[in-house]
Amino acid sequence: MRKLLLLTTVILVGLVFIARLFYLQVYSGSAYNIFEDTAIQKEYNYPKRGYVYDRNGKLLVANQPSYDVMVIPREVAPMDSLKLHEFCTLLKITKEDYDKKLNRARNYSPRLSSPFVQQLSKTDYAVLQEKMRKFEGFYIQKRSLRSYQTTIGANVLGDIGEVNRRIIAQQPYYKMGDLIGKQGVEKTYEKVLRGVKGIKFIQKDRFNKHIGPYKDGIYDTLPKPGKDITLTIDSELQAYGELLMKHKRGGIIALDPSSGEILAMVSGPSYNPNLLVGRDRSRNFTKLYRDSIAKPLFDRGLQAQYPPGSPFKVINALIGLQEDVVDTRERFTCRMGYYYGSRKLTGCHHHRSPVAMNDGIAQSCNAYFVNVYRRIIDKYEDAGKGMNIWANHAKSFGLGNFLNNDLSVGSKGRIPDGDYYDRAYGDNRWGSTYIVSNAIGQGEVEATPIQLANMAAAIGNRGYYYTPHIIKEIEGDTIPKKYRTPKYTTIDKRHFEPVIEGMFDVYNKGTASTLRVPGIDICGKTGTAENFVRIDSVKTQLTDHSIFVAFAPKDNPKIAIAVFVENGYWGSRFAGRMASLMIEKYIKGHITRTDLERWILTHSLEDEYAKPYSGEPFKINGETTLQVIDNYAIENTNQSSLKQ
């Protein structure tokens, strides 16, 4: 018994120690992570972010250096009030700010670094740099911020902002305080533009002194600079589009049909991209974000999904020819609308009757297209099948689904098929007469401006298109193959000519005859789309949207365009004028139709947009008068409320 006391104690102590070691090293200690090791300082070296050029080599986005004060809360030594005062004065913050910021950083992680004060001015940085060593736990991180060489294209270029915790959790490459592309090409080409940051692991001692590289620097990496990119955007055309869009809301998309390159991508209202740089970014962003009326961050060229209206008729003409339910000579009567029995299914405006395909398009006759559309649907044993075949044709133009391209936002649009109506009306409890609105681009059909521009490109190309994209060149790289491969529609090439003739006659003798541009054969189609909003839960009709889709020249088109102006009334009123101007600007480089230009620049729709929010009854469409601004040159943009 006496012999056993020490023996059992020794064994017991051994077991307790091993258990304690297990607790310390295995149970409570996570796997070793060098990024959480406070003995190793991580020094990041952020590479140059790639520059952004336009298609003509004009520099749009460059960089400017920026300095952040970072903090590792665990390493912060308590400061006496004098030192604290000095530190706060250097950083131009109050002591309360100091506590708040430190707490926030500690809440994120006591071991990892967080930004403390961001984007110091150069003079502040110069003063601070000298004294930084005195303040344990703080260091200065150099980054590069964007410097916009232009005031246009905010929706195209996008911006960079700080990563949030969700991004860090998903992509461990990013650390707190890093910048990432948030919108536009900065977002879609983030990986190309950002490059790869370099990292140096430095062994520290307990006095926070660097004592050399960790493991002789075998884990250190050099930064890889970001690659420059060239966009397909023509900055002059983009700027012109933005000028035309002033005081209006809507979108303009201009494409090069021979390559699918996006020449201009205008969304109105726009804003100056410089607003989203530097310390003011979050304040300005919030302001833009909260503007739920004008929605400047909503890219109307890409995201806004509207009923396409009459431009969609040409698709029905093409499907009709392909399905062999109509030929170019057959005429249909229009009695100011389409009648089913004695019931008027759709109205029409005044034009001569009866019309064949050419005039049907040029005069935008509703009755003509309802006839064609019904024949397509009724060609098959049941409407569902007919509807599916019709939808399949329409979708081959890139409608009704995402374009799957390199833009950061987009919408699907909508091309309804048989299933869609089976769900709406019940299986087979509907027929072609229920859905005739689709014939004229109203009803359930919806499309975004970029889809309509792409549709115009596919028509101009006589049956194929390239996926619209914004990247022209990546430094030392090629652009993806999907942008260089044509996509064919389901319509035979020979059917396009008569339709294109019809679109040409829209300008010659039809709805856009006043918009002709000397020397350019433009093929286009006007559109006017009814639209409604809910005001105090009452469905209220607003002034129609003005739509125009075009390509030019007629043969070997260089530009395809879709213009959408919210509440602009009929198609040629706003959208048609703007499309003609854009085409002329792009093809000729200058404007001969100055009358059109002047009209657009001096007419505003701001009053129109204010109506639904006025709280008073208002008139729409023909009963309104247009707001005229006198001195458009001096008149500034709606950005004046945002401080730069």
Partner 1 sequence: MLRENQRRFKFDWITIILFLLLVAFGYLNILSASHVGEITSYFDMSQPYGKQTIFIGLTFVLIVLILSFEAKFYERFASIIYLVAIIALLGLFIFGKDVNGARSWYGIGSMTIQPSEFAKFATALAVAKYISDLQTNMRTIKDQLKVTAIIFIPALLILLQNDAGSTIVYLAFFFVFYREGLQQVYLIIGLSLIILAVLGLKFGVVITAVITTLVIVSTYFLQGKKRGSIFQYIIVLIVCVGFSYGVKLFYEHGLKIHQQNRISLWLRLEKDPAKLELMKKREAYNLIQSEQAISSGSWTGKGFLQGTRTTGKFVPEQHTDYIFSTVGEEWGFWGSSFVVLLFTTLIIRILYLAESQKSQFSRVYGYGVASILFVHFTINTGMVMGLIPTVGIPLPFFSYGGSGLWGFTILLFIFIKLDSNKINEW
- Binding residues for partner 1, rule: CB under 8 A, are 2-3, 5-7, 9-11, 13-14, 16-18, 20-22, 24-26, 28-29, 31-32, 34, 37, 39-40, 78, 203-206, 211-212, 214-215
Contact (CB, 8 A) for 219 and 33: no
d(CA 330, CA 354) in angstroms, rounded, equals 9
> Which residues have C-beta within 8 Å of that of residue 378, sequence separation ≥ 6?
386, 431, 432
Q: DSSP character for 468?
A: P
d(CA 528, CA 371) in angstroms, rounded, equals 20
Minimum CB distance to partner 1, residue 200 (Å)? 14
Considering the complex, state which of residue 21 and residue 126 has its C-beta at the smaller distance from partner 1.
Answer: 21
Region of residue 80 (left: phi > 0; alpha: psi -120 to 50; beta: else): beta
* Cα dihedral: 616, 617, 621, 624 (round 10): -70
Considering the complex, state which of residue 2 and residue 590 has its C-beta at the smaller distance from partner 1.
Answer: 2
Minimum CB distance to partner 1, residue 141 (Å)? 21
Considering the complex, state which of residue 39 and residue 424 has its C-beta at the smaller distance from partner 1.
Answer: 39
Minimum CB distance to partner 1, residue 80 (Å)? 14
Q: At what angle do helices 313-322 and 449-460 cross, to 10 degrees?
A: 40
Q: Is the dihedral of CA 170, 176, 178, 182 positive or negative?
A: positive
Minimum CB distance to partner 1, residue 4 (Å)? 10
Q: Is the dihedral of CA 387, 389, 392, 394 positive or negative?
A: negative
Minimum CB distance to partner 1, residue 187 (Å)? 37
Minimum CB distance to partner 1, residue 1 (Å)? 9
At 328 the three-state DSSP class reads: coil
Considering the complex, state which of residue 31 and residue 169 has its C-beta at the smaller distance from partner 1.
Answer: 31
| Length of the chain counted residue by residue | 644
Q: Is the dihedral of CA 174, 178, 182, 186 positive or negative?
A: negative
Considering the complex, state which of residue 212 and residue 217 has its C-beta at the smaller distance from partner 1.
Answer: 212
Minimum CB distance to partner 1, residue 185 (Å)? 41
Considering the complex, state which of residue 78 and residue 426 has its C-beta at the smaller distance from partner 1.
Answer: 78
Other CB atoms within 10 A of residue 487 CB:
16
Considering the complex, state which of residue 207 and residue 613 has its C-beta at the smaller distance from partner 1.
Answer: 207
Minimum CB distance to partner 1, residue 75 (Å)? 12
Residue 48 corresponds to which tokens in the numbers above?
Answer: 């140059």
Alpha helix segments (H runs only) across 119-234: 122-131, 154-157, 165-170, 184-188, 190-194
Q: Is the dihedral of CA 435, 438, 443, 444 positive or negative?
A: positive
| C-alpha pair distances (Å), 466 with each of 308, 401, 453, 475 | 21, 15, 12, 22
Beta strand 52-53 with 229-231: parallel, antiparallel or unpaired? parallel
Minimum CB distance to partner 1, residue 104 (Å)? 20
Which helix (H) or strand (E) segment holds residue 370: the answer is helix 366-378
Other CB atoms within 10 A of residue 614 CB:
10
Q: DSSP character for 137?
A: T
Considering the complex, state which of residue 111 and residue 295 has its C-beta at the smaller distance from partner 1.
Answer: 111
Considering the complex, state which of residue 203 and residue 627 has its C-beta at the smaller distance from partner 1.
Answer: 203
Place of tokens 């050099």: 222
Q: Report the candidate in 141, 138, 190 with the shortest Cα–Cα distance to residue 161.
A: 190
Minimum CB distance to partner 1, residue 81 (Å)? 15
d(CA 314, CA 302) in angstroms, rounded, equals 22
Considering the complex, state which of residue 28 and residue 641 has its C-beta at the smaller distance from partner 1.
Answer: 28
d(CA 644, CA 246) in angstroms, rounded, equals 19
Minimum CB distance to partner 1, residue 68 (Å)? 25
Minimum CB distance to partner 1, residue 37 (Å)? 5
Considering the complex, state which of residue 214 and residue 466 has its C-beta at the smaller distance from partner 1.
Answer: 214
Considering the complex, state which of residue 136 and residue 521 has its C-beta at the smaller distance from partner 1.
Answer: 136
